[in-house]
Amino acid sequence: MPKPSADAPNATPWRSVGADGSIMLQIRAQPGARRTEIAGVHNGCLKVRLAAPAVEGRANEALIAFLAASFGVPRRNVALLRGESGRRKAVCIASPTARPDRDWPCKI
């Protein structure tokens, strides 16, 4: 995987874009929420509320499904790189067809 570079027009601490167009997101997950949604920025990470509980990997599966739907890619294009058992996660989205992250908050 190529080294990510800053996305110049919308540089944020939680997002970087690789030379191949892949997107790496730094995420702070909040499992057990009422609904799955973007909730702003927390300590330099994109905060994502997840409706699934943090039990048996269900929150990770919900996060992957949410990001895949948001970026218009199959679930296999979303890789959890770090944070399988923690709230802080690094996720890579390969070949996104949509870029909803450009509309997500830069800071809160």
pLDDT of residue 18: 94
**pTM for the full model?**
0.87
**CB under 8 Å, gap of 24 or more: what pairs does 27-35 form?**
27/63, 27/83, 27/88, 27/89, 27/90, 27/91, 28/87, 28/88, 28/89, 29/54, 29/59, 29/63, 29/83, 29/87, 29/88, 29/89, 30/87, 31/58, 31/59, 31/62, 32/59
pLDDT of residue 11: 63
pLDDT of residue 62: 97
pLDDT of residue 2: 44
pLDDT of residue 107: 57
DSSP-assigned letter for residue 102: G
Residues in the chain, pLDDT under 70 = 1-11, 106-108
What topology does CATH give the domain 12-97? Conserved Hypothetical Protein Mth637; Chain: A; (3.30.1200)
Query: Structural domain boundaries of the chain?
Result: 12-97
